[in-house]
Amino acid sequence: MSIRNLLMSCLCSSFIACALLSLPAFSQDDRASSQAQNENTQASNETTVEGTVVSSSSTLFVVRTDDNQFHMFTFDRNTAKPESLPIGTRVRVISIQGEQTGARQATNVVALEQAPPAGSVGAAAENAAPLPPPVHKVENKIERETHRWRVGGRVGAAFDPELFLFGVHMQVGPVFNRNLFFRPNAEFDFGEITDMVALNLEVAYRMQAFSRTSDWAPYFGAGPSLNFIHQSFQTQAGQGENISFGNFNYKTGFNVLMGVQDRSSLFFEVKASLWSNPGPVLRLIVGKNF
């Protein structure tokens, strides 16, 4: 081997070794930078409010500040807070942008003063001040949206073969994870040749990071599909006999889906079906949870 080739081999080996040794450092720098960016973003979105609790439930509470402004907060198991927030408790609330319109997500709640004893003048005064109608309306809406069981409807179009569809669904959750939902649904598809009833046992995962910064949150999911398919062809009168491909035949498929959902629970969804032939392979769906 010539001296030139030997030197080139040594230089290449040294370059590769340096590159490999620098990868962990770059990876750590990237993770540190990403973590710092997330912390800075969260810090910039944080606000602090002090006031008196005037309404409290299992999912949210309302605070009235000294300037008679009402602030609504939602909370979850990650919120640092007292076990209970009786009406009349004076609190300091640190919050970030929430997923619900009209409310912020409480991250830390500190009780500054306990609620007056029941029957006292202070307690009577707090209870005598009802929530303004707009605040009460938003409170009721959020309470409905946070129910673990919700039902809804959907319509759409299917392709290959071309069908019109409508259906009903149920949303259960969150389960196991705050962003994971069980969404079983039933679809009824009709076309010129093919009719189908589909029972879909789907699970959807919501991407929460987007829901904090936008009115629309993307989600994706999957699940098995139990399809009952009937195919027939009808000729015009006097031009031959009707042709039928038999009664409803059962076919098991598997659905993969993705979509976006807004804060009012309106959603748009694209669903692809695998192993469901002669059922449709693609569906475009619009629906709403109630």
Average pLDDT estimate for 55-65: 90
Which residue type occupies 255?
A: N
DSSP, collapsed to helix, strand or coil, labels residue 107 as: strand
- pLDDT digit string, tens, across residues 156-199: 999 999 999 999 999 998 888 878 999 999 999 999 888 999 99
Q: How far is Cα 41 from Cα 212, in angstroms, rounded to an integer? A: 11
**Average pLDDT for residues 214-230, to the nearest whole number?**
91
Q: Where are the alpha helices (DSSP H) in 3-100?
A: 3-45
CA 13 to chain CA centroid, nearest Å = 49
What pLDDT is stored for residue 64 in this prediction?
A: 94
Q: Report the pLDDT value the prediction gives residue 61, as an integer from 0 to 100.
A: 93
* Residue with the larger pLDDT of the pair 274 and 4: 274
Mean pLDDT of the chain: 80
Q: Which amino acid is at 153?
A: G
Query: Quick one: pLDDT band at residue 150, thresholds 50, 70, 90?
Result: confident
* pLDDT(5) > 60: no
Kindly compute the dihedral angle of the four CA atoms of residues 163, 222, 263, 85, in this order, to the nearest 10 degrees.
150
Closest residue by Cα to residue 129 from 55, 38, 57, 66? 55
**Domains recognised in the chain with CATH numbers:** 47-145 (2.40.50.320), 149-289 (2.40.160.20)
Pair 102, 145: CB distance under 8 Å: no
